[in-house]
Structure 1
Amino acid sequence: MRLALLLSLLLPASLVQAAEPLLLRLGEHRLEAEYAVSAEERQRGLMWRTELAADSGMLFRFDEVRRHCLWMKDTPLPLSAAFMDENGVIVDMLDLEPLSTAIRCSQAPARYALEVNQGWFESRGVGPDARVEGIPGP
């Protein structure tokens, strides 16, 4: 019984192990991002994380270009998200509230979404039409 309880407490930590980060560039700014490509990685996202380094985030690659949605279930961090087209150009941005089950969708079709600490884009003057460089090819 104690072992089962211990394993259940450790499970979320084991699910958030990161792959080698990507090095992304947004103008003069650098960002390390984990890359979520599979449906499972996208679904898990940054769930259960209690910290995110100042210049880091998670890049999501979606299977098709269309309007995509995000939510913050089980994600205790306040985040900002940028949706990008196939060329890495930001087409929409939004702020996400911790632990919210509200579904937030892009207003324009997108291939990618980049989640960072809330306010990261704004504090660096990054907005729509900026380009994210360093995204791996298809």
Structure 2
Amino acid sequence: MRFSMRSLIARFAVAVALPLAALSLAATSAVPARAQQMPPGAKQPSEFPRVKLTAGMYVIDAGVAANDADREQGLMYRTNLGPNEGMLFVFNENAGHCFWMKNTLIPLSIAFMRADGTITDIDEMQAETTNNHCPTHNGVFALEMSKGWFTSKGIKPGMQIQGLPALH
């Protein structure tokens, strides 16, 4: 069998390109499956208690993380949030509670609050990072929303979130 140089190059390109394309396709299709798969024992989003909060004229539908296990998981493994959906973290002590974004697949904004709902700090957090996000003031609540939510609604430190659960 006789091949021209052009034919050999074309066959080589196909021989290399097809396996690479298959690898690329497999890697791309594996990412969403991993991103959506919750580890054993993790709570599904619908299993968190819910609370309706208000920030000015905006109503927020928030999952509540009020125990160690729920606070540890928070919004980890989620791939999206509704337009006014978030996660409220409730702590048993007035302190500087820090957050990070390990296993959190979507970028978030966080508002740290005092017991009366006054926002002390707002911070922007990148997905899947482990740097700490700590408030400058002690508080007992933190509210995570989609990145940029507070800024886009004009919500700033000094404003209050209403509808927070009673502390124990």
Q: TM-score, normalised by structure 2?
A: 0.74
Find 1:104's aligned residue among 113, 133, 137: 133
Question: How many positions carry a matched residue from both structures?
Answer: 130
Deviation, 1:111, is: 0.5
Deviation, 1:121, is: 0.5
Structure 1: which 4+ aligned runs deviate by more than 2 Å? Answer: 9-14
Separation of aligned partners in 1, 2:41 and 2:89: 20
Find 1:133's aligned residue among 162, 165, 168: 162
Separation of aligned partners in 2, 1:14 and 1:120: 30
Distance verdict in 2 for CA 1:134–1:102, change over 3 Å = same
Higher strand share: 1
Separation of aligned partners in 2, 1:131 and 1:83: 11
Matched position secondary structure for 1:63: strand
In the alignment, is the contact (CA less than 8 A) between 1:72 and 1:96 conserved in 2? Answer: yes
Find 1:26's aligned residue among 46, 55, 76: 55
1:71 paired with 2:100, answer yes
Separation of aligned partners in 2, 1:43 and 1:20: 15
Q: TM-score, normalised by structure 1?
A: 0.89
Aligned to 2:114: 85
Counterpart code for 1:15: A
Separation of aligned partners in 1, 2:37 and 2:106: 19
In the alignment, is the contact (CA less than 8 A) between 1:13 and 1:48 conserved in 2? Answer: no
1:16 paired with 2:43, answer yes
Tell me how large the CA RMSD over aligned residues is: 1.5
Q: Which has the larger radius of gyration?
A: 2
* Unaligned 5+ runs, structure 2: 1-35
Aligned to 1:113: 142
Aligned to 1:60: 89
In the alignment, is the contact (CA less than 8 A) between 2:112 and 2:142 conserved in 1? Answer: yes
Deviation, 1:13, is: 7.6
* Unaligned 5+ runs, structure 1: 1-8
Counterpart code for 1:69: C
In the alignment, is the contact (CA less than 8 A) between 1:36 and 1:60 conserved in 2? Answer: yes
Deviations 1:29-61 (A, max 9, x none): 111000000011000010000011111000001
Seq. identity, % = 36
Deviation, 1:20, is: 3.8
Q: Which has the higher contact order (CA 8 A, sep 6+)?
A: 1
Separation of aligned partners in 2, 1:105 and 1:127: 17
